[in-house]
Structure formats: C-alpha cells, structure tokens
Amino acid sequence: MLLRHAPALLALPALPAPQSWYPGHMTQFARALPALLRRTDVVLELRDARLPLTSINPSFEGALQKWRQERGHVSGAAGAAAAPAASSGPQQYAAICERIVVFSKRDLVAQWGIEPFRRAMSAKYPDQKSFFAAWNRQGDIRALNDLLVDIAKQNPHLPEMNVLVVGMPNVGKSTLLNALRSNGIEGPTAKALRTSAQPGLTRAISTRLKLSVDPLVYSYDSPGVMLPFLGRGDRGAERGVKLALIGKHSTANALRVLRTAPLTCCPPSSIRPSQPCARTAGIKEGLYDLEALAAYLLYRMNILDPTSPAYLAVLPPGTPPTADVAEFLDTLARRLGMLRRGGATDHARAAAWFVRWWREHGSVLAAAAPPPPLPAVPDPSDTSDASSGASAPAVQQQRRGWGFDFEWSVGAAGLGADGVQREMEACIDAFEAEAREEAAEGGEVSVTQERKKQREGLLARRAARLKAKAPARRSGR
C-alpha cells in the first residue's frame, strides 16, 4: 500500500505555540557551567538520536567554545605531546579538551542512516567525536568506557581525568553514568544516581563519580537544561512538539508484546483523561495537547516509511496509510472501542493512546523502516529509443526521512548511502542557517522576556535620571 503524496496531504499540520519550561535550577546550572568546565577534561554531550539537531542546546555552545579557546584547542594524543612535563604542575589539565557527542537511543532510529549521519557530522564538525549508543546494549557501554579510558591513557601525566555529562532533560545522562560505572568498576557497584521517566529529576551537579580505577576517571552528572525559549512561528512550534514526543520506552517488552498482539500493549482502560500518558517526554508532561502531538506524529511516521508506516500495526488489517489525522483517530478509536455516548468516536482518548503506544512500542517498529530505494542500474538489454516519442510514465517523488530532524525528496533515481549523506549534510546546513536567522531576529528570546528587559531598561534610565538630579536638589538649586 502506498500513501498518496499530494503536497497537501503531507503538509506540516497546524501546531500549537511553543510552551516554555525553564525552572530555576536550569538557570543556576547555566551560570555555573563556565566555572565547572575549568576543571573538566572531557565533555560528554548527550543527544537523542531521533532529534540529533533539535536536541542541540545553543546555551551550551558559547561556554564550550570558550572552554576550547582557553585550552588552546588542544585535544587527545596531540595534547599529550604538546603538554609540558609533569613537574610543571596544574597546567597539565590543558592537555585534554575532548568533546564527545553521544547519540543515545540508537535502537530507535533506522540503522541504515547511522553511518551516513556519522560521516555527515564528521564533515561538518571535525572537532567533535560522534558516538551512537543504546543503554540496553552492553557492547555500546563497553565501547564508550574504553574510549574514555583510552583518552586518559594517552595523557599519563594527569593524575586523574574529569568527565562532565551535559544535555537536555531525559536523554539518559544519569542512566549512562550508572552503566559506565558498573562497567568500569570491578565487582558489584551500587546504583549511584537516581533516574526517572520524569524530566528534571537531577536538579544539581552531582558529587564526583568514579568510572575507572586505573587510569583514574571521574565524572559529574548535571541537570538537564532546556532552551529558555523554544522559538517563534512554525520553527518554534515544531521544535516544541518534537521535544514533547520523545520519551522513555522498553525495547525488550515492546518487541515481545508486538510479536503477539499489538493492541494489548496499552489497553484502552489503562488511559484516563486525567493521566493521558504514563511515560513522559523530554519536556514536562501536560504542556501540549495530545491531539496536536498525534497529528504531528502521524505526519512524521508517514515520512519515515510512506509505504508501510508503523502505525498500521494498530489499525484494522488492510487499512491503507493516511495523512488525515481525523480519519486516523476515528479508525483507531473504533478499533479500540473508544466511543462516546451515541456512538461518536473519542478522538482525545485515541490520541492519548496513540502517543503512549509510540513512546513505549511504536518507536521500535518505526526504526525498522527500510532505506530509500537505491539508484537504478541501467538495463543494457533495454534498446528502447527515448526519442521515439513514447511518453515515460510519470514518477511521483516520495518524502523520506531519518529520525525526526531529517527529511528529503526521493525520485525515480533513488539514493545510495552517499546520497543519503549529502541530503543529511544539506539538512544540517539548513538547520544552521535557520539558527543564525533566528539569532539575528531575536528569536531566541520570548516576547515576555523582551518586555521584561525593556521595562528593566526603562527603570534603570529613570533611576539614573533621579540620581543625576539628586545633587542639585541637595544644594537647593
């Protein structure tokens, strides 16, 4: 079955205005970050593999760039060679300045896109290391632990190496550190950091956590930091919805349940209007209407796999793909028996069920989407003459994507791995251009904050005028 690709059907749905969530502990950490970086050798920046661009936090970038400048852009083995002798003292800390971007939840993105994306990131950001991991894969944890230990071994003049873990809320920072500690320390280790499906559990910088004994490697956990303002217009609205959709999941349970009966994973009776989703996402639950999330999720799943999108697993057999969210929710509600009095379908409950299904199970199915078609190989036996006047059949382009941040058109020529990499690089370029445009337009500051700054400026000017008039008043003039 193939989704009809009329432009109107795959248009971005209407999205609600972005909601800000920036509690005080995030502000405190952002202010403390520059001082914390002075005693940091390696920064592990965690991003969600489904949102590799959206989960970039610009508030980190300025502090990290200054950190690298202060250390002379020295890193890794080159830093060890350029560093002074061990007797020179504390200056040795300038030898390491590594930034490793860890893309978590790699099991929730299609495997065919990981290597093209890794190459695209290396081409665009040569000063960063990219690492893909899933916390339920011990091999990924061991590989990341080995990477940190190797960096420490390349700098034997340092008595210890300090690692700082940063990222947006609920990308798995505390879970990662617990796993690294368990892997790097021999024998049983207690769970050192609390974890939760609720974003914002970690509210302060943790005490140092030992990850390795020989060489000595310590780490700090940090609070997840959101953007103070998600942006204006469609860009900000889409950014907010993406962050609201990412959430906790259980891969093993999802695969076990979906092999038998997809609809048993989230029975309708388990979803109540007052508790629309048991699992929460990267932004605080309750800030977004679930029907709006369902509309955007349907749009994205059609792009991930236009022929057989993952949501077909929860619809009646033989149902074709659709881009109409009202039609989709109506079909789903009838399948689940979510009816109001009089037999009308309950779209609100169906949307809540759909979002919960996605977070807990559907994202695993979506990761199995097939790659875009490969470039066609000419058939040497085809002797048809293009100039004979026979009209070639019209070929419709498909919109394809990887994760929630990458989207491109695929025509009859198809795309190989190199073509996917080029499309990803173009998406990264477009993302950076939009970020620069937003910064130039003041889009990083909300209207409320702008008014607050204007009022503060007005009060400051008024106070300055009164202060200037004070001497004249005291002299009686």
Token pair 């500051």 in the structure block, residue:
445
- Bridging pattern class, strands 406-410 and 398-402: antiparallel
Q: In the chain, which segments carry CATH 1.10.1580.10?
A: 233-366
Q: In the chain, which segments carry CATH 3.40.50.300?
A: 24-220
φ, ψ of residue 451 to 5 degrees: the values are: -65, -40
| Lookup: tokens for 247 | 């959430």
CATH of 24-220, one of 2.30.30.790, 2.60.40.3950, 3.90.870.10, 3.40.50.300: 3.40.50.300
Residue 205 pLDDT level (bands cut at 50, 70, 90): low
Selection from 205, 213, 204, 206 nearest residue 192 by Cα:
206
Residue range 115-156, pLDDT digits in tens: 999 999 999 999 889 999 998 889 999 999 999 999 999 988
d(C-alpha 192, C-alpha 150), whole Å: 24
SS3 18: coil
Q: Rounded to 5 degrees, what angle do the CA atoms 2, 410, 389 make?
A: 90
Res 204 pLDDT > 50: no
SS3 339: strand
pLDDT at site 27: 67
The topology under which CATH files domain 233-366 is Conserved Hypothetical Protein Ylqf; Chain: A; domain 2 (1.10.1580)
φ, ψ of residue 461 to 5 degrees: the values are: -65, -40
- Cα dist from 336 to 256, 271, 276, 315, whole Å: 20, 12, 16, 9
SS3 316: coil
**The total number of residues written for the chain in this structure:** 477
Residue range 372-422, pLDDT digits in tens: 877 655 555 655 544 444 444 444 678 899 999 999 988 755 678 899 999
Residue 443 pLDDT level (bands cut at 50, 70, 90): low
User: Where do runs of H (alpha helix) occur along 2-41?
Assistant: 24-37
Say what the pTM is.
0.75
φ, ψ of residue 119 to 5 degrees: the values are: -65, -40
Q: For the purposes of burial, counting CB atoms within 10 Å of the CB of 33, is it exposed (0-12), middle (13-18) or buried (19 or more)?
A: buried
